[in-house]
A and B are shown apart, each in its own frame.
Chain A
Amino acid sequence: MNQWLHYLANPTRMGRVLRWLLPWVVGLVLVNVPVFFYFALVASPPDYQQGETVRIMYIHVPAAYMGVMVFAVMAVMGFFYLVWRHEMAMVCIQALLPIGWVFTTLCLISGSLWGKPIWGTYWVWDARLTSVFILWLLYMVIFVLGRAFDNLEMAKRPVAIMCLVGAINLPIIKFSVEWWNSLHQPASLLRAGGPAMPAEMLTPLLLGLLLASLLGLMVFIWRVLTILTNVGVGRGGGRI
């Protein structure tokens, strides 16, 4: 594992691996898009309580999952940067930041649109909603931090530290529905006893998770290759 990470820390090798991976990921995304929309909007039935709004769950849950997972990867990259000074780790943070921000924004918007017909309100300062809002703010803070210095070299260390510090929020998001009385429902996918939903609703949800992961990976590859081509690594150029 350690050897593999140091292997990928070389920009040339990383670029080669990503260029090989790119057509496969793009192909899988193109195949998955119509399949996901068919299952999410046509094949799956309306819920007996939520009605048609259950279809928002198929985009809301993957968006939330990506928002959290992308930040977790950014925290790991921040750790690699602080410990080994791997420049590629900072390139990964640069590439991941807007991806995680967009997914978290979509999570908040889709959740609000689901909340209005079901809860009767777009927003409540509930533990889960507030902790995800803090995650959204953390993405913004890192973005601003990356641009607050004269050049990227000066910003790298504070950005890496912020990624690590911000990761404290991730378990709070996950367990907020258990630690506090929350309007948001508890976990229905990753829980003891298996997923709490029928197969016809589980299928579009899993397809949504797969599509969001592939889409995030595709954009990540494009962004890393763009950064490597435009500014190179360790030349002090570019912006977070």
Chain B
Amino acid sequence: MTQIMAVILAYIFVLVGLGGLVIYNYWQYRQATLLDTGDKDAQ
């Protein structure tokens, strides 16, 4: 494996891993707060 390939793969894994963590938990948070405020249209 070349050095550049290792760097690209490492950054892709980080972007996918942390991106997934952020997007999933933001979505969960939005769902919970929308349900809590009774914003039916936005659901």
Chain A contact residues, CB within 8 Å of chain B: 41, 50-53, 55-56, 59-60, 63, 98-99, 102, 105-106, 109-110, 113-114, 116-117, 215, 218-219, 222-223, 225-226, 229-230
Contact = CB atoms under 8 A, between A and B. Distances in A.
Contacts of A226: 25, 28-29, 31-33
B43 to A, nearest CB: 14
B35 A229 contact: yes
Contact of A116 (B1, B11, B18): B1
Interface of B: 1-4, 6-7, 9-11, 13-14, 17-18, 20-22, 25-26, 28-29, 31-33, 35-36
A222 B26 contact: yes
Contacts of B33: 225-226, 229
Contacts of B35: 229
A222 B10 contact: no
A110 B29 contact: no
B18 A106 contact: yes
Given A53-B7, A60-B10, A110-B10, A219 B17 contact: no
Contacts of A51: 3
Contact of A113 (B9, B22, B29): B9
A56 B17 contact: no
Nearest to A60: B10
A175 B33 CA distance: 43
A56 B32 contact: no
Nearest to A95: B25
A102 B10 contact: no
A117 B18 CA distance: 24
